[in-house]
Amino acid sequence: MTRIATATFEDLAYVASWLCLMDRKELAVTRDPDDYLKLARDAWETDIHKVALDDDLATPVFAFGVRRMAKDIVGVWGFKTSRGRRAIRTVTKYLLRDVIPDLRDTGIKRAICWVHPDNTDSQRWLAHMGFRPMATPGELGTPLILYQRDEPDEPASPA
């Protein structure tokens, strides 16, 4: 069983030091994926930083979080170890049940992230969570695709 916890810096450094191959490839576009301490520091400095712990030994396998970018926009991020795929279901439930409603309650209307075109697993996962591609690699000046999730307008209250 997997559980979600607020990440410690050590959790983030552990996951960053054991990145799965696809996350290494994706991160290599914008940073040195071998500099795991810088990745952990950047993740630590975000507004929300969580980790999925593999219940076997409480080993961190998937790190994820949120950084506020504007009044109503957040950037979301995540990276995992090769064992992190096992945590996807738990992380998805946690995001849909807790994180997205909490962000909506604080006025967040949009979430964005960048994905490597070869990372089809992440693209499918983001689509399942309501994200859609908004900019192609050439438009961003990098080989990454911008994914975006917008909150639907609240229904008008009956008069």
CATH of the domain at 144: 3.40.630.30
Number of domains the chain contains: 1
Digits of tens for pLDDT over the chain (159 positions)? Answer: 899 999 999 999 999 999 999 999 999 999 999 999 999 999 999 999 999 999 777 899 999 999 999 999 999 999 999 999 999 999 999 999 999 999 999 999 999 999 999 999 999 999 999 999 997 766 656 789 999 999 876 444 444
57: tokens are 């030994």
Structural domain contains residue 155: no
Q: How far apart are CA 45 and CA 109, in angstroms?
A: 22
152: tokens are 């639907």
β-bridge mates for residue 81, sequence order: 19
Structural domain contains residue 157: no
Structural domain contains residue 156: no
User: What is the span of the domain harbouring residue 60?
Assistant: 2-150
148 contacts 131 by C-beta, under 8 angstroms: yes
